[in-house]
Amino acid sequence: MDRGNEDEARAASSPVFSSRLMNAPSGVNHALPVEQGSLHATGLSRAALKRHYMSERGTAQVQETRHGLWLALVVYLLFGVADAMLIPDVSAATITGRFAVAILSLIFMEIVVAARAPSKWSDLVCAVTVVVAYLGWLIPAIPTNDFDTFRFYMYFGTIFMMSANLFFNLFFRLSVATSAAILIIFFTSLAFVPPLEPNQLMVHVLFYLSCFAFTSYVNWKLNQERFNVFLNALEAAHQHDEAEKRGLALERLSNTDYLTGVENRRAVDKRLRDYWNDWQTEAKAFAAILVDVDFFKKYNDFYGHQAGDRCLILVASVLNETLKPLNASVGRYGGEEFIVLSRVTGRDQVMALGEIIRSAVEGLHLVHDQRRDGQAFVTVSVGASYTRPQSGPKLERIINEADRALYSAKANGRNCIRLFNPNDPLTSDDNENIAATLRMAIKNDLVHLVYQPIQNLKTGRVEAVESLMRMKMIDGTPLSPAQFIPVAERTGAILDLGLWAIRRACTEVLATGVAPMASVNVSAIQLKSRGFALAVSTILEETGVSGSQLAFEITEGIDMEGQSDVIRCITDLQALGIRIWLDDFGTGFAGLSWLRLFPFDTVKIDRSFLQDARRPAGRAMLEDIIRLIRNRGLKILIEGLETADHVELMHELGIELGQGYFLGRPVPIDEVRIKPFPRLASVGGR
Ligand code: C2E
Ligand code: CA
Ligand code: CA
């Protein structure tokens, strides 16, 4: 066995090293080239193995040898007692020799330990000690007069052989050399003792020789065995490591989004639960930020799915790169929606993170010229929410809040950030219930329409009815549109409800000829939604109603400047013959620019102006507004006529169209009675 094998064998025999191999496979593998296949098969470099072993065994091996030496020397000194009893005439000299050897040997060993010398030096000290210890006893003992006893006592020399081969954990060659030295010394010493009978001599020589052969053989076997154990341990460690690596790879795979490489929904959900637990137990706040790629469907449709995938990959990686240094995680939450989770300290930090996300994606300058909203690059809308002391005991809630914020970001023109506002009264628990009810409202017959007449004040004819939505909760509690319409807009339920209302007005009023014309209130969100005009034309076709019988009332609550989507939609609707009315004129912030932007047919002046008209300044204001609209050549309808005085005022101002409780309250379809009125009349009570 060469020196390398000896090292390996010794490595295996070192409990410290073997257990490290078994328990800490990563430590082994960083140092050793054992990536593939079995150790035997790869023929692991002996030199590498040796280097690694030498660095690993170091102090542990030295300490083990040191303790063995201490123990051996104690036994060696105790044998001084045997000297005194068996060969008393020379025992003073042998005992002195024993002490001298023990002290010197310990001094050397301690020097080796203190110098942190490699283990080969402690091994050498041991080997030399064994030889010197034998000499240290033999030389002073030879002159004894009690030769008979000494002759038998000499057999103990084989103990030294055994310690070299079996007791100390020396290299095979060193231990064999040491026991060979003992053998030679023994043979030499025979020349200095009184001659033995030839038979006796033969017994001595044979005993020593067979002892040498036997212990060397056992030593060799032992070393081989240790080597195998070592190899097995290495291999086991290697396999353990491989299995662990496979396990890790599998886990990574199961937590990674296949397309973008960021965390997938599964991983996100787990992280969310962890964050939530930390929030519940340690009050560690965190933010959930939803990031949605604007007009992604358009991008996909126009540039193709491959480009769409590439877009998502680029967005994911820019988010990952930007947010990783900030300790925020990125996951894919759905098609083109990502979620960012991060521990935060408060509102400002969440907003700052949102802005980082928004500008990082904008900074990609990924061309997207299909969006028709004045922007030419891919952008994202960002909705965020974060844990607050009053955020309630549910994890889903925070995601729900972020979702609502995202919705609001989208509704407000996209490429912007919205933070969920807990002080917004529209986000109370009641609204959660409303949102849930809205989802099943149509199916469960919880909604219906009421109709309010719109009258020509000059002829007294009802020229149209405005359809107004009514909804009740499951327990029958009625809700006003002021309560449920904003929730429907926020959750997107308005899209289905809005189409339902149009269809219902067509079938109930227009297809049956109950009124010549009907107006339906339409939210800006509906106008922004894809395919709205197409859905309306389908309804017209299916109900057999002409577009010219229908008017859509649009409120000016939202800034739609630059919303080319909406302009296009309105143009499409007008092409179907549908009139577009501007509702609640004067209450929004963009009234005048709206008049400039859209070719409205009729403008409905908000009832607040009518109430103010009692005062001269209010009346002047109303007159100004009327003049402004007339100058643009648009028809005027005044809402909220509650008294005969109001109607009188309309005559004075020359207003043709009016609507209000005085003329008729909103009523269900079966209460709508439309007859020509001589001048002023009601169509019934509410
Ligand atoms: P709006 O479009 O301005 O509708 C007129 C509101 O004023 C109605 O309230 C109507 O009942 C009320 N009103 C009518 N005449 C008078 C009057 O003489 N005096 C007073 N004080 N009020 C009068 P309603 O039905 O509660 O609707 C409130 C708002 O809800 C509507 O305002 C409209 O913006 C929205 N809305 C109603 N139905 C729908 C719908 O189907 N779709 C959409 N998107 N919004 C709707
Ligand atoms: Ca209206
Ligand atoms: Ca109105």
Q: From the CA of 594, how far away is ligand 3's center (Å)?
A: 16
Gap from CA of 509 to ligand 1 centroid (Å): 18
Closest CA to 108 of 69, 163, 68, 58: 69
Distance of CA 150 to the CA centre of its chain: 82
Q: Is the pLDDT of residue 330 over 70?
A: yes
pLDDT at residue 188, rounded to an integer = 92
According to the model, what pLDDT value does residue 35 have? Answer: 38
Report the pLDDT averaged over residues 569-592. 83
**Percent residues over pLDDT 90 in the chain:** 53
Mean pLDDT throughout 23-46?
43
Closest ligand to the CA of 611: 1
Model confidence at 136: pLDDT above 60 = yes
pTM of the model: 0.48
Per-residue confidence (pLDDT) for residue 52, from 0 to 100: 61
Ligand nearest to the CA of 640: 1
- Summarize pLDDT for 616-642 with one digit per residue, the tens: 988 998 999 999 899 989 999 999 999
Higher pLDDT, 559 or 438: 438
Q: Which residue, judged by its Cα, is nearest atom 37 of ligand 1?
A: 468
Q: For position 4, what pLDDT does the model report? A: 41
Cα–ligand 2 centroid distance for 488 (angstroms): 16
Which atom of ligand 1 has the smallest separation from the CA of 449? 41
Structural contact between residues 639 and 604, judged by C-beta atoms closer than 8 angstroms: yes
pLDDT at 239 over 50: yes
Alpha-carbon distances of 434 from 484, 492, 501, 538, 608, rounded to whole Å: 7, 13, 18, 29, 28
Residue from 446, 449, 521, 638 to probe ligand 1 pocket by mutation (most atoms less than 8 Å from CB): 521
**Which class for 249: exposed (0-12), middle (13-18), buried (19 or more C-beta within 10 A)?**
exposed
Cα–Cα–Cα angle for 213, 214, 219, rounded to 5 degrees: 100
**Is residue 32 predicted with pLDDT exceeding 90?**
no
Whether 452 lines ligand 1, by a CB cut-off of 6 Å, is yes
pLDDT at 154 over 70: yes
What's the rounded Cα separation, in Å, for the pair 412 and 418? 9
- Residue 469 CA: nearest ligand 1 atom is 38
Please give the structure tokens belonging to residue 508: 């109930």
Residue range 602-615: mean pLDDT, rounded: 89
Q: Please name the residue whose Cα sits nearest to atom 8 of ligand 1.
A: 468
Cβ of 642 below 6 Å from ligand 1: yes
Average pLDDT over residues 22-43: 39
Query: What pLDDT is stored for residue 40 in this prediction?
Result: 47
Q: How far is the CA of 468 from the centre of ligand 1 (A)?
A: 6
- SS3 state of residue 225: helix
- Considering just the CA atoms, what is the radius of gyration of the chain in Å? 49
pLDDT the model gives residue 27: 35
Distance 504 CA to ligand 2 centre (A): 16
- Report the mean per-residue pLDDT for the chain: 84
Q: Find the mean pLDDT for residues 134-152.
A: 91
**Kind and range of the H or E run holding 269:** helix 265-282
C-alpha to C-alpha distances, 586 to 258, 480, 622, nearest whole angstrom: 52, 23, 10
- Neighbouring C-beta atoms of residue 425, cutoff 10 Å: 9
Q: Among 434, 454, 468, which residue has the most ligand 1 atoms within 8 Å of its CB, making it the best to mutate?
A: 468
The Cα-based distances of 639 to 394, 449, 550, 662, 664 in angstroms read 44, 19, 19, 11, 11
pLDDT tens digit sequence for 423-458: 655 555 667 788 889 989 999 999 999 999 999 999
Grade residue 678 by pLDDT with cuts at 50, 70 and 90: very low
What pLDDT score does 62 carry? 83
Query: Residues 505-531: pLDDT tens digits?
Result: 999 999 999 999 999 999 988 988 888
* CA separation for the pair 295, 156 (Å, rounded): 95
Helix (H, G, I), strand (E, B) or coil at 476: coil
Alpha carbon 254 to chain centroid, angstroms = 12
Q: Which residue has the higher pLDDT, 552 or 345?
A: 552
The Cα-based distances of 267 to 263, 273, 325 in angstroms read: 6, 10, 19
Tokens of 123: 């091994």
- Asked if residue 17 has pLDDT above 50, the reply is no
